[in-house]
Amino acid sequence: MKKIIGIILLATLIGSPGLMAGEKLNLMLDWFPNVDHLPIYVAKEKGYFFEQGLSVNIISPSETSDALKLAAAGTMDLAVSYQPQTIIAADQGLPVKVVAPLVVHPLTTLLFLEGRGIKTPKDLSHKKIGYTVPGLMDVLLKAFAAINKIQDYTPVNVGFTILPALVSNKVDAVMGPFKTYETVGMAQHGYKAEFFELEKWGIPDYEELIFVCGQKILREKPDVVKGFVTAIEKAFAYTKADPDDALATYLSAVPQADKNIETKAFELTRPYFAVKSGHNIVKWQAFADFALEYGLIKNKVDAAMLIHNWK
């Protein structure tokens, strides 16, 4: 009986070339693995990528700006990126396409430590303000400063060294930390973070994290990219339906993660995860128009042309 079942299973697999082929797909994250990427690991560990005939290799970048550039060049199949960065890239002529959302509202803040006498953004005038992602957070900082009348500030690239830069007084605040992640890590080290949420201080609502690929990859491998999107959408649904197991799945897949930080950060991040594929074109265009008005980009970007429409 077992032999018969085995023959039937083998025949089924042979008749499913997608599963047998195990199409390899390289995905570069925007940062080191963390709970913002949890649905990706759910899709991988629960076999949702396998169901689509995919073998997904998850890669961390050397620099936070690497992923989008490599995806646009076709060196990387897919990448996790940010809506503002993608609009800036489109303005610069990079052949990039947005294929799915991951986190659908801003997590980014202008963050500082408690007790530093900062009550409003104007209090940062004549101070040093760090930023995390060159080409993105520095230009967002420029727009934020213009809107909120922060005068004569000095921008400083602090990269990943957010807390050390703040504690050592290298900078007075940092543009880029997430309200759902860095705040938790700082608290664990005994520091209380305060922050200005961008969307409450003049920056339009936008999708914090998205999946992008180069136009060449999308043209040559549309079914592969579509399979990835389908698997991720299934992972969104699972994460919403069973968040405890989704978190456990992620922690098992990323054993180097700090369980305490990631668990607390996950509770804060859960409300912001996408629940399905697709994008709000009106919201995207509003941010693109804002980016043009405040000098983040030099040319008008048509959001509808940037986003791939899955029919």
Predicted confidence (pLDDT) per residue in 269-285, tens digit: 999 999 999 999 999 99
Q: Which amino acid is at 65?
A: S
Domain count, the chain: 2
Q: Which of 169, 200, 231 is the last residue of a domain?
A: 200
Q: Please name which of 176, 179, 175 lies closest in space to residue 194, comparing C-alpha atoms.
A: 179
In a domain, 8, yes or no: no
In a domain, 299, yes or no: yes
In a domain, 93, yes or no: yes
Decide the pairing of beta strands 78-81 and 23-28.
Answer: parallel
Distance between CA 112 and CA 268 in Å, rounded? 19
Instruction: Please indicate, yes or no, whether residues 226 and 266 belong to a single structural domain of this protein.
Output: yes
Instruction: Please indicate, yes or no, whether residues 122 and 268 belong to a single structural domain of this protein.
Output: no
> What is the structure's pLDDT at 135?
83
> What is the structure's pLDDT at 16?
37
> What is the structure's pLDDT at 255?
97
> What is the structure's pLDDT at 280?
96
Distance between CA 106 and CA 139 in Å, rounded? 16
In a domain, 1, yes or no: no
Q: Is this structure's pTM higher than 0.85?
A: yes
Domain carrying residue 182: 108-200
Instruction: Please indicate, yes or no, whether residues 175 and 41 belong to a single structural domain of this protein.
Output: no
> What is the structure's pLDDT at 133?
86
Instruction: Please indicate, yes or no, whether residues 92 and 216 belong to a single structural domain of this protein.
Output: yes
In a domain, 7, yes or no: no
In a domain, 10, yes or no: no
> What is the structure's pLDDT at 229?
98
Distance between CA 60 and CA 79 in Å, rounded? 10
Instruction: Please indicate, yes or no, whether residues 214 and 287 belong to a single structural domain of this protein.
Output: yes
Task: Give, as one character, the DSSP assignment of residue 309.
Answer: -
In a domain, 32, yes or no: yes
Q: Which residues of the chain have pLDDT under 50?
A: 1-20
Q: Please name which of 292, 252, 274 lies closest in space to residue 44, comparing C-alpha atoms.
A: 252
